Chain A
């Protein structure tokens, strides 16, 4: 008989993650005053619960299912499985481990994975090559980028993991949502056959409803950010990305946003800025720098720069209708999937993205944009200048572009990045 430890060893990086989260939490708890960085403390608390529960499930012998970040984990709640977000795991470990996940990037690079192909997949690919993850199946939409299309076949052809690929169209039309809705349903049915479980749509409904509960709260927080000074600390954005990825469809996600809303309201009432004084309001229209989330605090405290939001914090969809028919539910799931952060911008022409940026700049009274041009995301490689011109013409505000690998600190040193931001900030003050 296979023992519990052996089963848990199918997800060794999760054990590493749990230990790191716990250490970070203990450190935060012992050295930071209460409510110093609320999002960090609240988020860590719930993340620990979530990761612990998943390791427990792996130990119970439940199938380990890898999923792309854009195939939301709540969709897998129709099964009894251990969901592992491939991109999320690479980057959360890159953020928390002192040496990042460079070791696994190097393993994959030496194996032939190109240096310019996304590190968000490279990390878990390397961990799989090192036998630290043993997936029973993987589900991945055919989007949003070449990196996804190019890297995932590795799992199928070299790591021998059965793979399900719901096809997501690269155009946002009514028929696209209908098509993708069918793809999600079929994808889940196919996955069920692989792992020997039948999808339980009632269970799925339950979790979709839980996820629905946090949408309004997120929107309220989003609205509060229009206030000057911004009542939410920069780190909230980073933690929200983790919460969105790891806790979708879970009560912990609802609680995180509820507690954060309270904190934001409190600051709003007191006109309190996390860094003391808000000098610059900035939008990160794309990702944060995952290998150095300390940047969030540094910007708040050293430069008085608020990150109003990053890409994980301005894309909201309507709640999923769960009480009509199954078709409506899957249609809404498809819509949510296609409008998920990065998917929305990557699977359609980028005209709407540019318009959204211009409108947000105006509505949120942003002073500048910082665009993190991640080496993986070639689909954004021709956006920055067009965005820069649109913002200049319509709002007069500048864009700073940082070229980097958001998950690998070796490509551009953090010192260089911070210097660039400091110089940019000086031109704004």
Chain B
């Protein structure tokens, strides 16, 4: 058995899927979100299916052009375009946090434009949480208060009753299990003889954010068995770590891997960064959810945490026996652009090969990228 054409992985190729339809047919609600800084367990406990908005396969941005200037993130622009064409009309709610300047403004654009389209019968509720940009106790206190207010808002506008501890506990268990399964799968990439490619992991991870987590967990268990029983992948390819802006399209990871490498590790928000930390099941559960979301392995939007991210990267490079690091950013992503600038110099100082590239969200510049990537592989021979 192999993962080629696996039905779960295929979910990542489209926006909607049969599990989502089934969920909706059962009159259950779907909540869209952009950034992984979301207390997903809380929404799940409230009966929402949190769905990570992406634009996989969507290539048009003319409608988004009207509302977003060209020098904004292509990933967000594509999602907006898709939303304006009705691709996200199945959403029953939207959660936004001040993750980056591009995605956070989707709060206003969905409110003023997307949800005002005539196709939308009833405007879905929108939720917003202000997340600090530094990680310390004061910041956590602020964040916890925001999460408490969020819970109240969900209870008032959606569940119409209190979300109790047993619901929270159940959601946390499901999510912890989900992360643990993903970690197990992830670790099979880092082996000396990896069992799956970076593109396959990305597909698994994207599919995982598009279906209810109970279903995802069953699927992940099944996939884990397939992978464990599959043949090792060839070990004479360059071992690459992929770092930077969101990747929601395997065309890019394939480009990296088809040129003679395998992505054995990543630091992406559809990748490892989001599955490292779990929620504690003891004590105040809401507080624990807030703790995980706030103190988890950060991304560059956390202004004071570069050192921790860098240290983590170094450990991963060692653990996964990485030959070279590809630092990439979607054009106009300032957060990853500057983080990559720092990392490039730091890795160079340690003699770790790295390639720093910018790209379009939907690959239009394949040849240029391929040439640079191949030249990089040559260099790390």
Which residues of A are interface residues toward B (Cβ below 8 A)?
A: 111-114, 116-118, 142-143, 145-147, 149-154, 156-158, 163, 165, 167-171, 175-176, 179, 182-183, 186, 349-351, 373, 375-379, 381-386, 401, 403
Q: State the Cβ distance, A75 to closest chain B Cβ, in Å.
A: 18
A residues within 8 A CB of B72? 378, 381-382
Q: Do residues A382 and B109 form an inter-chain contact, with CB atoms below 8 A? A: yes
Contacts of A378 in B (CB 8 A): 71-73, 100-102, 332, 334
Q: Chain A residues with Cβ under 8 A from B346's Cβ?
A: 157
Q: Are B132 and A150 in contact (CB under 8 A)?
A: no
Contacts of B112 in A (CB 8 A): 386
Asked if B341 contacts A113 (CB within 8 A), the reply is yes
Q: Which residue of B lies closest to A348 (CB)?
A: B130
Provide a sorted-by-A list of 30 A–B residue pairs whose CB atoms are within 8 angstroms.
Answer: A112-B341, A113-B338, A114-B329, A114-B337, A116-B71, A116-B331, A116-B332, A116-B334, A116-B337, A117-B334, A142-B303, A146-B100, A146-B334, A146-B335, A153-B306, A154-B342, A157-B306, A157-B307, A163-B304, A167-B133, A170-B104, A375-B71, A377-B101, A381-B105, A382-B69, A382-B102, A383-B105, A385-B66, A386-B67, A386-B112
Of the candidates B113, B331, B344, the one whose C-beta lies within 8 Å of that of A112 is B344
Measured CB to CB, the nearest residue on chain B to A379 is: B101
**B194 interface hit (Cβ, 8 Å):** no
B269 to chain A, nearest CB (A): 15
Cβ-defined contact, B98 with A179, below 8 A: no
Q: Do A153 and B101 have beta carbons less than 8 Å apart? A: no
With an 8 A cutoff between CB atoms, is B260 at the interface?
Answer: no
How far is A104 from B306 in the complex, measured between Cα atoms in Å?
24
**Residue in B66, B69, B134, B306 whose Cβ sees the most chain A Cβ within 10 Å:** B69
* Least Cβ–Cβ distance between B354 and chain A, in angstroms: 11
Measured between beta carbons, the chain A residues less than 8 angstroms from B107 are: 349
B interface, how many residues as a size bin? 35 or more
Whether B134 contacts A142 by the Cβ 8 Å rule is yes
- Besides the known contacts A154-B341, A349-B107, A378-B71, 16 further A-B residue pairs in the complex with CB atoms under 8 A apart: A112-B344, A116-B337, A117-B334, A142-B303, A143-B133, A153-B304, A165-B134, A170-B104, A349-B128, A375-B71, A378-B101, A379-B101, A381-B102, A382-B68, A386-B109, A401-B69
Known: A153-B306, A375-B71, A378-B102. A167 touches B132 (CB 8 A): yes
Chain A positions within 8 Å of B73 at CB level? 378
Say yes or no for B176: interface residue by CB 8 A criterion. no
A-binding segment of B6-14, B137-145, B210-218, B277-285: B137-145
Closest to A141 in B: B133
Q: How far is the CA of A378 from the CA of B232 in the complex (A)?
A: 45
Q: Which residues of A sit under 8 angstroms from B338, Cβ to Cβ?
A: 113-114, 117, 150-151, 153-154
* Nearest B-chain residue to A156, judged by Cβ: B306
- In the complex the two chains form, is B300's CB within 8 Å of A149's CB? yes
A-facing residues in B266-302 (Cβ within 8 Å): 300-301
A163–B107 CA distance with the chains assembled, in angstroms: 31
Chain B 329-362 interface mask (CB, 8 Å, partner A; 1/0): 1011011011111101110000000001010000
Cα-based distance from A150 to B343 in the complex (angstroms) = 13
The list of the 10 closest CB pairs from A to B, nearest first, reads A142-B133, A150-B338, A112-B341, A114-B337, A170-B98, A379-B101, A378-B101, A171-B130, A381-B72, A146-B334
Closest to B344 in A: A112
Chain A residues in 8 Å Cβ range of B108: 349-351, 382, 386
Smallest Cβ-Cβ distance to B107: which chain A residue:
A349
Q: Which of A151, A163, A381, A403 has the most CB of B within 10 A?
A: A381
Q: Does B70 contact A (CB under 8 A)?
A: yes
